[in-house]
Amino acid sequence: MIGSAGYAGRSAIAALGAHFPVRGVELGEDLGVAMAGVDTVHLATDLHPPLRRLRREAEPDPALVEILRAARQAGVRRLVHLSTAQVLGPAPRTVLLESNPPRPDHLYEKLHARDEHWLLLQRGIEVVILRPAQGFGLGEPISERLLSALAHGRPLLVAGARRRTFLAGSDLGRAFVAAALRGRPGHSYLLGGFTSTWAELFKVAAVALKVPVRFAEVPYDLLYLRTALREWRTPPGRVCWPNRYVVDVLGRGHLLEDGISRRELSWSPTIGSFEEGLGELIEGIKSRRLRGRPERAEGESLTGREPT
């Protein structure tokens, strides 16, 4: 498991450990040694962090190229690669299906689509791609940052009334198991969970944290323009909060229909609401508040402070 310390990796390690011996590593470690004798490599690291200003590159990510080289050299049979359902692009008025071709809009989506395409062209190793819906929970960058701001009494960006599909981390972890056992080589699998809104997430978290919900009340178009300017001013590789991708994730609907993927993987989500899946993140935020640990100051705050 590459990326075992992150949001997706921790969930995947927990699920995989119930079925197989699991070895967790991070980028920068000796991947050749880690992959020795391994049948399946799971790549859970997000090579293109959604909160950072990304670089537009035509070639696949160098880290991905190195992972594939090391896997081939070690005789790995299968690579399960974590992508995102966002590669299908925006869908404000329709439901996205497994049969929809990728139509990425933001650079974050385009880079993931590029890596997917490159991986599926490779030979000598089985590639299975997972395209999960928007996650939430401890370590998930967007939801954790939003709820940390909520806990500190800061106004949120948008009301988040648009409906979209969410997927809990534990269900994503179980999908890694299904992909290892039953995923077809050369296929991409859409992973939905339950339909809700960011507004409902804010409501559930506010009740658990015993805080009010406040909004910045900035018109969407103005917020988007301000965000575009902030991105332009942010050096590549630095956190830019919020960026245009985040604004669209919060302000646009994104509904998924994953029936075919569920049948082929013999997988289905078990978490059907935020109340069931937010416990770990809420406890983490409460613990930080009790210790008086300040929120990370990197990038843009919800109150409008510009990056330094």
User: CA nearest 79: which of 113, 105, 115?
Assistant: 115
Whether 26 is covered by a domain: the verdict is yes
Whether 73 is covered by a domain: the verdict is yes
For the record, the structure tokens of 106 come out as 């933001």
Global pTM reads 0.93
Residues with Cβ within 8 Å of residue 26, at least 6 apart in sequence: 2, 3, 4, 5, 45
**If you average pLDDT over residues 110-131, what whole number do you get?**
98
Q: Is the pLDDT of residue 304 over 90?
A: no
The CATH number of the domain holding residue 162 is 3.40.50.720
Whether 91 is covered by a domain: the verdict is yes
Whether 186 is covered by a domain: the verdict is yes
Q: How many domains does the chain have?
A: 1
**Looking at residue 167, what DSSP letter applies?**
E
Whether 305 is covered by a domain: the verdict is no
User: CA nearest 119: which of 111, 213, 89, 237?
Assistant: 111
Helix (H), strand (E) at residue 188 = strand 187-191
For the record, the structure tokens of 81 come out as 């690669």
The pLDDT tens digits of the residues spanning 219-245 come to 888 999 999 999 999 999 999 999 999
Which domain range does residue 50 map to?
7-291
What is the three-class DSSP state of 56? coil
The pLDDT tens digits of the residues spanning 140-184 come to 999 999 999 999 999 998 889 999 999 999 999 999 999 999 999
**Edge-to-edge, what's the strand order for the sheet holding 187-191?**
40-43, 78-82, 126-132, 187-191
| Residue 293: pLDDT band with limits 50, 70, 90 | low
Whether 306 is covered by a domain: the verdict is no
Whether 301 is covered by a domain: the verdict is no
**What pairs with residue 166 in β-bridges?**
134, 194
What angle in degrees, to the nearest 10, is found between the helix axes of 141-151 and 198-209? 50
Whether 1 is covered by a domain: the verdict is no
